[in-house]
Structure 1
Amino acid sequence: MNEKRSLSKFGFFSMTASLFITVYEYPTFANSGKSLIFFLLLCGLFWFLPVALCSAELATVKGYQEGGIFSWVGKNLGVKFGFAAIFFQWFQITVGFVTMIYFIIGTLSDVFNWPALNSNLWIKFAAVLIVFWVLTLLQFNGTQVTEKIAKYGFSIGIIVPVLVMFGLVVKYLIAGNPVSTNFSSSSFLPNKTHIGALVSFVLAYMGVEASAPHITELEEPKKNYPMIMLVLVVVGMVLSTIGGSVVSIVLKGNISSNSGVVDAFKVLLPHNNLLVMMLGILISFGVMAQVSSWIVSPTEGLQFVATEGLLPPTFEKKNKAGVPVPLLILQGILVSIWAAVLTFGSGSSGGNIAFQTAISLTVVIYLCAYLLFFISYFVLIYKKKNLQRDYQVPGGIVCKTILAGCGFLMSVSAIITAFIRPSGMSVSDGKIYLWTLAISLLITLDIPFLIYSFYGKKHQKVEGDNHENDEGRV
């Protein structure tokens, strides 16, 4: 086993951090003004912390290390639910890739003063395909390549820009510049009209568990994985709070979701276009690192699922570098289809019903995986207390229940808020949006169970839905 472990602590930390810590959501946060601090603290303490700590315990249970969320859920709730969890985790990011690359395109279009890159639909579509497929092909060389991209992308594409933003806004305020009404006129506690933003802030922390399939490659995973999870909670909350607050403080009026971060740098550096361009490029590289990490992490979990017989044998295959190439190709085809649908279906505005439905769908689908995750954790702590594990959430059964309960309730609340009509959308469009979202969700929820019923159940190599990990008992 040791020869497989090729990820350093910082490499694993960077890969995991780049899965969820990003600058592309700062403009969305900024629209909430001071309430962004409330939402980030709320979701950080009552959702992100439960996910991180429960993941740390589940990941160190003997026999649960391989397969990530598939094993965590499957060994406690049954194989079909484990398959549904890993499917939801993977499916949501196939849409998420497009939105992340949209941010990259919007940023580069702004810093290079090339409007057509973001406004011409054919150029935009081609740019999405080029960025995604180049990053996909780079992953064919193995986890070490992904680790390097994540290290440099997180360090110079996220940490550096956020620290620069913080230093510049301090200088900006000391110089007596006014604070935007977006920030100054808002309150710390959100009002009823802002409650729909909850789902966006939960999205800010999603994905911390997606690196779990790489645990066996981490140095001393039993010791280091829980420690890394705790550090990620603090770093994620701090960086998101700083980034979102800076954008809200310096920008007035409507904040562009694509160019909001670069617009903030333009205000903070009014006479230094070269530095703004450099920071824009660094930010784009940081988001590319996030795309790279997401390309490989969920597919590793799906490859493990294939080895259990739940997917056709083709998807078991790996190349010499240990990369599940058939799954990456399938993923790339699906992302290319989404890119066409979203680009040409949403038009240059990027804000119509089709686009907003797709974004909301990614969130609620992923939250369904988290509901299964927390239910599985309850089964672990109540019905499988004797399973051997190397990390325990502190505080005993009472604290574990409260912690997981908070995460579960926050997930349910976020799903509910996703079905609130977005502000700025007309009532008639809102009805179409809500019906489309509801029907799309129901259809998507059925897919993994249909795959399991018609293929996986007949070919699975494990013992069925009541399979338990008896080897892990003390």
Structure 2
Amino acid sequence: MSFLLKIIKITKSKNIDFIGALCILIYRNIKLNIELGGKKMSSNGEKTKKLTLVPLILMIFTSVFGFANMPRSYYLMGYGAIPWFIFSGLLFFIPYAFMMAEYGAAFKSEKGGIYSWMEKSVGAKYAFVGTFMWYASYIIWMVNVSASIWIPASNAIMGKDTTQAWSLFGLNTTQTLGVLGILWIIFVTVTASKGLEKITKVTSVGGTAVALLNVVLLVGAIVVLACNGGKLAEPIVSAASLVDSPNPAYQSTLGMLSFVVFAIFSFGGIEVVGGVVDQTENAETTFPKGLKMSAIIICVGYAIGIFLCGIFVNWAGSLAGKEVHMGNVAYVMMQQLGYKIGMGFGLGEATALTIGAWVARFVGLSMFLALTGAFFTLSYAPLKQLIEGSPKEIWPGKMGKIEDGMPKNAMKIQAIIVCAMIGLVSFGGQGATEFFSKLILMTNVAMTIPYIFLSLAFIGFKKNKDIVKPFEAYKSEKSAVIAAVVVSLVVGFANIFTIIKPTIEGNYGDTIWMIAGPIVFTLIALLLFGNYEKKNLVSKKDNVA
């Protein structure tokens, strides 16, 4: 009730509508949570205000819920994506979130992040390999985004995706985007290594705009539905429409099972809640309630969002063409939303197309700014955490040196690796559709594998009686083991289905690329840790002598 009263108060004081007031209130709560995130006590020793249920739910929602996940899921599975989101929410998101909450509460004073969690639960080698895989997932993410960031840039400037017509020095589209991606990596590395963090503050405006895209989707779809007399662009013919995919590539059983990776990836970001357990009021009761309610809201939100896409986008009519792919589908669909709104109000074809182009520009600018801010942060933050969290002796030469708060030497090596991967993928001879599909599949697989490391380590965490556990969602070892096994199996099998699907379809290249990254980075991690163990062994022998 107090939440609604606050919204009403804002509508009167600011003279805005309900949606606008809700956005302001969400922004205020997010800002409050960020301010609370790094401090538990004020300078005079008094405790700061703790998170209550509603701010906790808002924090979890904004950390996890991603706008682009809805149009991409609709593109892959149509309405059939909805039950898989519910499945992933029940068997992955909720149990995994409770694990992260227990980790965060137990290791709230540790500076090593997930390395400390796994090292104290299982061991140093396991922790280093798991953390290195977590870091490697961001390497793959950078490869993906450095090439795909030009799509929102194109939409922001042109009002549509024109990248498929781009060509530099006689290169084809994917090669051109690869070259631009390499130049982007060099620019970001040089800039970020100088510690110019203000850039991320400027681009955080894009994050707020992306959050508002969810409101645009909701309101716009309702307007289109009303203008069309309740008729859906993608009709629901029978119950099968809510299960089967209109996408030929995802109509088989294997195709549907491989989609689970996309659903799991859509719940990424839940790790952030691990650090706010001790900042939550009455954590024993508030936190489980907040997680459960957040999970329901996020699952329902994704389900509604996917359904809303079907209100204004007919899959066969708008998404079946070769010019539409996973990299640009969100912009294509939002452009379609603007067009349908214009046509719904009886405006002319040219005017409706103009509205669609401006909606695409808004989406493109929002996503470009948000991705730019994320890129600058992720170009050094995961690498810095990996170096600072692991033993210093692991890193050869000056690689582990931190200068001016930045791992400058390691960032240079990182840039070389990312540029090399971009070059190999972009000059692989595939078209734009295959290129972006490969990049996104590589990213999804790489970024979900660390979940298995963390969930399996949770078994050791629960069995270790020396670890003080101030918050326990799993009251018994048996329930913890069951949850860890279920989460690991769901993520593991989802990745297996995703990896083998291209091979069964005769596309061996995609399978090789999806497994090459994790295998290579695992070998690198084992090599680094092996050298570290040898050094320690020699050092111990010298000390004994």
Deviation at 1:94, TM superposition (A): 1.2
Q: Does 1:223 align with 2:279?
A: yes
Quote the Cα distance in structure 2 between the aligned partners of 1:221 and 1:462.
Answer: 40
Name the residue aligned to 2:95: 50
Q: Find the partner of 1:269 among 316, 338, 342.
A: 338
Name the residue aligned to 2:406: 323
In the TM superposition, 1:380-419 aligns within 5 A as 380-382=461-463, 384-393=464-473, 395-419=475-499
Partner SS for 2:393: coil
Q: 1:207/1:392 Cα in 2 relative to 1: closer, same or farther (>3 Å)?
A: same
Moved more, 228-237 or 174-183: 228-237
In the TM superposition, 1:133-152 aligns within 5 A as 133-137=186-190, 139-140=192-193, 145=198, 148=201, 151-152=204-205
Larger RCO, structure (CA 8 Å, separation 6 or more): 1
Quote the Cα distance in structure 1 between the aligned partners of 2:473 and 2:200.
Answer: 28
Deviation at 1:237, TM superposition (A): 4.0
- Quick one: which amino acid aligns to residue 300 of structure 1? K
In the TM superposition, 1:25-424 aligns within 5 A as 25-30=69-74, 31-62=76-107, 65-113=110-158, 114-115=162-163, 116-117=165-166, 120-121=173-174, 123-137=176-190, 139-140=192-193, 145=198, 148=201, 151-156=204-209, 158-176=210-228, 178-181=231-234, 187-189=241-243, 192=253, 193-209=255-271, 222-223=278-279, 230=291, 233=295, 236-237=298-299, 240-251=302-313, 252-253=315-316, 254=320, 256-270=325-339, 271=352, 272=355, 273-312=357-396, 314-320=398-404, 322-351=405-434, 359-382=440-463, 384-393=464-473, 395-422=475-502
Deviation at 1:198, TM superposition (A): 1.1
TM-score for both structures, normalised by structure 1: 0.78
Quote the Cα distance in structure 2 between the aligned partners of 1:232 and 1:134.
Answer: 38
8 Å contact from structure 1 (residues 15, 147) kept in 2: no
Q: 1:363/1:459 Cα in 2 relative to 1: closer, same or farther (>3 Å)?
A: farther
Deviation at 1:51, TM superposition (A): 2.6
Name the residue aligned to 1:472: none
Name the residue aligned to 1:449: 526
- Quick one: which amino acid aligns to residue 194 of structure 1? M
Larger Cα-atom Rg: 2
Deviation at 1:129, TM superposition (A): 3.4
Quote the Cα distance in structure 1 between the aligned partners of 2:310 and 2:417.
Answer: 35
Quote the Cα distance in structure 1 between the aligned partners of 2:198 and 2:77.
Answer: 37
Instruction: In structure 2, list runs of 5 or more residues that go unmatched.
Output: 1-30, 38-55, 245-251, 340-351, 541-545
Deviation at 1:304, TM superposition (A): 1.6
**Which deviations, in whole Å up to 9, do the C-alpha atoms of 1:416-467 show, x marking residues without a partner?**
2123324xx884x33554466556654443331122113455259999xxxx
8 Å contact from structure 1 (residues 98, 338) kept in 2: yes
**Which deviations, in whole Å up to 9, do the C-alpha atoms of 1:13-39 show, x marking residues without a partner?**
999988764444433301212222222
Partner SS for 2:501: coil
Q: 1:393/1:171 Cα in 2 relative to 1: closer, same or farther (>3 Å)?
A: same
8 Å contact from structure 1 (residues 88, 369) kept in 2: yes
TM-score for both structures, normalised by structure 2: 0.69
- Quick one: which amino acid aligns to residue 330 of structure 2? V
Quote the Cα distance in structure 1 between the aligned partners of 2:523 and 2:206.
Answer: 36
Quote the Cα distance in structure 1 between the aligned partners of 2:300 and 2:186.
Answer: 32
8 Å contact from structure 1 (residues 53, 393) kept in 2: yes
- Quick one: which amino acid aligns to residue 211 of structure 2? I
Moved more, 70-79 or 306-315: 306-315
8 Å contact from structure 1 (residues 162, 239) kept in 2: no
Moved more, 124-133 or 224-233: 224-233
- Quick one: which amino acid aligns to residue 220 of structure 2? L
8 Å contact from structure 1 (residues 146, 293) kept in 2: no
8 Å contact from structure 1 (residues 125, 343) kept in 2: yes
Q: 1:426/1:328 Cα in 2 relative to 1: closer, same or farther (>3 Å)?
A: same
Q: 1:361/1:123 Cα in 2 relative to 1: closer, same or farther (>3 Å)?
A: closer
Q: 1:366/1:261 Cα in 2 relative to 1: closer, same or farther (>3 Å)?
A: closer
Quote the Cα distance in structure 1 between the aligned partners of 2:180 and 2:111.
Answer: 35
Quote the Cα distance in structure 1 between the aligned partners of 2:460 and 2:136.
Answer: 25
Deviation at 1:92, TM superposition (A): 2.0
